[in-house]
Amino acid sequence: MNQLRHVGKSVKRKDGPDKVTGRAVYCQDVRLPGMLTGRILRSPHPHAKIVSIDLSKAKALDGVKGVITIEDSKGIKHGFVETPRYPPDQEVLARDRVVHVGEEIAAVAAIDDITAQAALELIDIEYEILPPVFNPHKAMQEGSPEIHPSHPKVAEKESFSNIGGKTESGWGDVEQGFAEADYVREDRYESHLRTHGYLEPQVTVAHWESDKLNVWTSSMGAFNKRAKLAKVLDLPYSSVRVHKAYVGGAFGGKIDLYSHEFCAARLSMLTGRPVRFVASREEIFSAYRHGQPLVVELKTGVKKDGTLVAQELRIINNAGAYRGSGVVVVFLAWGFTMAPYRVPNLKYEGYSVYTNHTTRAPQRGHGCPQVRFAIESQLDTIAEEIGIDPIEIRLRNARVPDEELPNKDNVHQAGLQECIKIAAKKTNLVAKYGRDRKSPPQDTSIRRGVGIGISSYMSGTLIYPNGSGVIVKMNDDGSAIVLTGAIDLGQGAETVITQIIAEELSLDMDDIKIIASDTDTTPQDIGAWISGLTYVTGNAARQAATNARAKLLIVAAEQMNVTADDLYLDNKEIISQSNPDNRLSYREVIAASVANHRGDTVIGEGFWRTMRDEPNHPSLATTKGRWTENYAFSAQTAEVEVDIETGEARLAKALTVHDCGFPINPGLVKGQIDGQVSMALGHAFMEEVMTKDGYTLNTSWLDYRMPTIHNMAESEDADVITEQYEVGQSYRTKEVGEGLVSGILAAIANAIYDATGVRLYSTPFSPEKILKGLRELERHQK
């Protein structure tokens, strides 16, 4: 019997009413008595030595309660990655040297913003300017200004400068592969600098009280923040409590420890008063972390029928001033390369290069959009050169169910082939493809085109804290309290967890209240940033409910004089299948448990960890080890319109056909899809962080152009269901929250080519580039 009442349904969000009525408490709403305002002094130089800092005037200003520099820290470093190969590399405030504009040097806590700002202006710093470097290719050259020494393991073999880290991987024999290929092509693709665009700014409130640090901070995972804060403050985890607050978007930008979080904590410890930091939007654009622009040099060899035989990639990441997630993205770019298509011979090199830009963070997709844009663009070019259509070349190479990947991962019930077929059919792609290029319409300057892009994404991997726990506490009346460390940053984590527990325990959604994301009161959780929350925390929730359910059944069986396997749960009652009149309410069962089981109030515990047999995350340097146990797959098509006189292009329609395993909440899945289509079209046509000499030129929402509702394209989607959910069984859901920026971005590029014949090798797809391409085509035709 697998009739699901809650799971698989688009139930309304648990957080919806709070958010639409304005009751939801975000960090910025947290106001504590006596709270001070914090502000940060930032570097005006991209690269400079700090010769001296004079705080005396700032400290003497009326209303200033605390001023700190690195001297007020314990000097413990932190890093986005903290492994033996990549040990922590960042101080909490600059020491002796600054390596990007906006780097944090000192912080002030004062009674109000104006006083805090006045204090910053009274801090005297003497700098010795050092030469900066912004272009990763220049930074790699020997003799270029050294931001940090190249990683010793890289420096052993190569003479490049400023290499923060390198990923090298591959299999087979690429030389042999290219020799056997009927057609080989080399291209270079470049992506541009974009930012997350979270609407809620970075906010932290810290309050040191009774030897305990209480923190409210806008984040993507409370336990990761606690670990890093406790570490740099040299406090036991038990002395740091990260409280729950609603999060107004993150998209990868709120994972790592930020300097302002340390500053809030340290200043509160020094002043004994709560301290709040709110980053201005200008600070977020000019000094905080953005995504990662990659250069992808790509060589591919195919047989006449389109079968991939060899691929060689060299990826250069302009990774900014510290290691950040720069070394992660060059690892992930390998994964996003190898997951969707079979490539028997692969050679992969990814360099993470220090430059005097701000440090980089993951951004929704974390390298996948950049890589898929390159591979999918080139694949279309190759298909045309060898005379097959874009669907055929993809079907020829796409993974099939149960394939084992070279890293020993398995794609299980991969729905990629089906995704491609459905996308092709729904778009009528093969029939439409090339139409406006073959017979351009005469009465209009608008050209229409269609394109496809596919991608695959991992669904959870092993990064601290690696596992999630969930506790279900039954109340005497049969309702339940759920404790989970999961953070709901808009994706609907609390709703999905509630659905699962409601399903497993046959409760109504309203019978369940969630206490979430509080490091003192909830179990540890992996956080909402490795695309595994619904799978990992969801399975922990399912197990906790199963555990509570088993306890209820044992007690009920005793009371009802039947065996537990004769019983089933229905609407807060336990009923005998053989005699449906024999039934007990949860209230009665729990009372009996308390009475007869030494006060057991029925608490269910659940835990989950992905890849339970793997000790840790695969090597970032070599990719050895397993990466994930669930791969999501998708095929996306874009229909675009391009004005060939102005170069203006727009996405008219997007189609996403995806295999997320099984959608626990189809409405939330649809929300993720539409959000990613909107983000991809911003990526394609509008958004760009413009910089010059390390300074950011567009530091406002006005000039960093995110799409508005009017720009949103029609977005259709279709599920390819490859997994099932059954009560009492573990389940396999796949990622749906970030992988879908990628295929659609590539599809847009391919559709622009289809409309105009202009092949774009860099994002964004601006009217200038399209016009330039059209002019070149005209010259070529003459």
Partner 1 sequence: MILYDFEYERPGSLKEATALLNETGGDAQLLAGGTDLMPNMRVEVVTPSLLVSVSGIEPAAPEKCADGSIRIDSLTKLSDLVDAELIQNELPMLAEAAHTVASNQVRVMGTLGGNLCQETRCLYYNQKHDYQFVEPCYKRGGDCCYPFPGNDRDVCWAVYMSDIAPVLIALDAKLEILGPDGTREIAMADLYTGDGMNPFTLGTAEIIQAIFVPPVPERFGWGYHKTTVRGGLDFGTAIIVIVLQLAEDGETCCWAKIVYSAVGQGPLRPTTTELSMEDAVLDPALIAVAASQEISPLPHHGFNKGFLRENIRVYTERTLVSAIECAQGKI
DSSP 8-state assignment for residue 398: B
Tell whether residue 686 is a contact of partner 1 (CB under 8 A).
yes
Given 42, 243, 254, 617, the residue binding partner 1 (CB under 8 A): 42
Q: Which stretch binds partner 1 (CB under 8 A): 7-15, 111-119, 531-539, 630-638?
A: 111-119
Nearer CB in complex with partner 1: 117/176:
117
How many C-beta atoms lie closer than 10 Å to residue 237's C-beta?
A: 15
For residue 13, give every residue at least 6 positions away whose Cβ sits within 8 Å of its Cβ, in sequence order, or none. 19, 492, 495, 668
For residue 485, give every residue at least 6 positions away whose Cβ sits within 8 Å of its Cβ, in sequence order, or none. 222, 223, 468, 469, 516, 517, 518, 519, 522, 523, 524, 525, 527, 537
Given 702, 778, 779, 781, the residue binding partner 1 (CB under 8 A): 702
Tell whether residue 442 is a contact of partner 1 (CB under 8 A).
no
Minimum CB–partner distance for residue 113 and partner 1 (Å): 6
Q: At what angle do helices 742-756 and 767-781 cross, to 10 degrees?
A: 40
Q: Which stretch binds partner 1 (CB under 8 A): 6-14, 254-262, 533-541, 694-702?
A: 694-702
Question: Is the Cβ–Cβ distance between 734 and 532 less than 8 Å?
Answer: no
Nearer CB in complex with partner 1: 43/378:
43
Given 83, 381, 582, 711, the residue binding partner 1 (CB under 8 A): 711
Nearer CB in complex with partner 1: 98/313:
98
Minimum CB–partner distance for residue 17 and partner 1 (Å): 25
Nearer CB in complex with partner 1: 121/402:
121
Closest CA to 326 of 271, 385, 256: 256
Given 688, 717, 735, 738, the residue binding partner 1 (CB under 8 A): 688
Q: Which stretch binds partner 1 (CB under 8 A): 192-200, 241-249, 476-484, 708-716?
A: 708-716
Minimum CB–partner distance for residue 687 and partner 1 (Å): 10
Minimum CB–partner distance for residue 695 and partner 1 (Å): 5
- What's the CA gap between 737 and 215, in Å, rounded? 27
DSSP for 651-691, written as a single string: EEEEEEEEE-SS-SSHHHHHHHHHHHHHHHHIIIII----E
The two structure tokens encoding residue 374: 């390159």
Closest CA to 658 of 644, 643, 642, 669: 669
Tell whether residue 61 is a contact of partner 1 (CB under 8 A).
no
Minimum CB–partner distance for residue 278 and partner 1 (Å): 9
Q: CA separation (Å) from 1 to 134, 138, 728?
A: 61, 64, 11
- What's the CA gap between 349 and 337, in Å, rounded? 12
Question: Where in 283-312 is the site for partner 1 (CB under 8 A)?
Answer: 286-287
For residue 779, give every residue at least 6 positions away whose Cβ sits within 8 Å of its Cβ, in sequence order, or none. none
Closest CA to 59 of 51, 67, 47: 67
Nearer CB in complex with partner 1: 301/707:
707
Minimum CB–partner distance for residue 407 and partner 1 (Å): 41
Nearer CB in complex with partner 1: 283/389:
283
Nearer CB in complex with partner 1: 690/777:
690
Question: Where in 376-395 is the site for partner 1 (CB under 8 A)?
Answer: none
Tell whether residue 691 is a contact of partner 1 (CB under 8 A).
no
Tell whether residue 397 is a contact of partner 1 (CB under 8 A).
no
Q: Which stretch binds partner 1 (CB under 8 A): 41-49, 222-230, 293-301, 313-321?
A: 41-49
Nearer CB in complex with partner 1: 1/702:
702
Nearer CB in complex with partner 1: 278/371:
278
Amino acid at 275: V
Nearer CB in complex with partner 1: 692/782:
692
Strand (E) positions, 157-288? 163-171, 183-190, 203-209, 212-217, 240-242, 275-278
Tell whether residue 444 is a contact of partner 1 (CB under 8 A).
no
Tell whether residue 718 is a contact of partner 1 (CB under 8 A).
no
Question: Where in 644-673 is the site for partner 1 (CB under 8 A)?
Answer: 645-646
- What's the CA gap between 58 and 121, in Å, rounded? 8
The two structure tokens encoding residue 508: 């109504």
Nearer CB in complex with partner 1: 322/704:
704
Nearer CB in complex with partner 1: 488/643:
643
- What's the CA gap between 654 and 632, in Å, rounded? 19
Given 157, 598, 710, 782, the residue binding partner 1 (CB under 8 A): 710
Q: Strand 631-643: give its sheet, edge to edge.
A: 446-458, 631-643, 649-659, 714-719
Helix residue spans in 293-367 (DSSP H): 326-338
Question: Where in 235-294 is the site for partner 1 (CB under 8 A)?
Answer: 280, 282, 286-287
Query: What is the rounded (10 degree) CA torsion for 743, 744, 750, 755?
Result: 160
Closest CA to 321 of 41, 127, 47, 690: 47
Minimum CB–partner distance for residue 94 and partner 1 (Å): 12
For residue 376, give every residue at least 6 positions away whose Cβ sits within 8 Å of its Cβ, in sequence order, or none. 452, 453, 454, 743, 746, 747, 749, 750
Nearer CB in complex with partner 1: 464/695:
695
Tell whether residue 44 is a contact of partner 1 (CB under 8 A).
yes
Tell whether residue 705 is a contact of partner 1 (CB under 8 A).
yes
Given 38, 66, 79, 102, the residue binding partner 1 (CB under 8 A): 102
Minimum CB–partner distance for residue 55 and partner 1 (Å): 17
Given 692, 779, 780, 782, the residue binding partner 1 (CB under 8 A): 692
Minimum CB–partner distance for residue 548 and partner 1 (Å): 49
Amino acid at 103: E
Question: Is the Cβ–Cβ distance between 28 and 248 less than 8 Å?
Answer: no
Q: What angle do CA 464, 469, 475 make, to 5 degrees?
A: 155
Minimum CB–partner distance for residue 58 and partner 1 (Å): 14
- What's the CA gap between 651 and 653, in Å, rounded? 6
Question: Where in 569-588 is the site for partner 1 (CB under 8 A)?
Answer: none
Phi, psi dihedrals of residue 504, rounded to the nearest 5°: -70, -35
Phi, psi dihedrals of residue 348, rounded to the nearest 5°: -130, 135
Site string for partner 1, 744-773 (x = CB under 8 A): -----------------------xx--x--
Tell whether residue 703 is a contact of partner 1 (CB under 8 A).
yes
Minimum CB–partner distance for residue 104 and partner 1 (Å): 10
DSSP 8-state assignment for residue 386: H
Tell whether residue 568 is a contact of partner 1 (CB under 8 A).
no
Nearer CB in complex with partner 1: 509/712:
712
The two structure tokens encoding residue 448: 């229409």
Minimum CB–partner distance for residue 697 and partner 1 (Å): 4
| Count of residues touching partner 1 (by CB under 8 A) | 38
Q: CA separation (Å) from 42 to 57, 65, 99, 283, 405?
A: 17, 19, 11, 9, 46
Letter string b/e over residues 164-203, b meaning 16 or more CB atoms within 10 A of that residue's CB: bbbbbbbebebeebbeebeebbebebbbbbbbbbbebbbb
Given 517, 699, 722, 763, the residue binding partner 1 (CB under 8 A): 699
Nearer CB in complex with partner 1: 64/569:
64
Given 17, 34, 56, 117, the residue binding partner 1 (CB under 8 A): 117
Neighbouring-strand partners of residue 38: 109
Minimum CB–partner distance for residue 127 and partner 1 (Å): 11
How many C-beta atoms lie closer than 10 Å to residue 578's C-beta?
A: 10
Minimum CB–partner distance for residue 285 and partner 1 (Å): 10
List of residues contacting partner 1 (CB under 8 A)? 41-44, 101-102, 113-114, 117, 120-121, 280, 282, 286-287, 645-646, 685-686, 688, 690, 692, 695-700, 702-703, 705, 707-708, 710-711, 767-768, 771
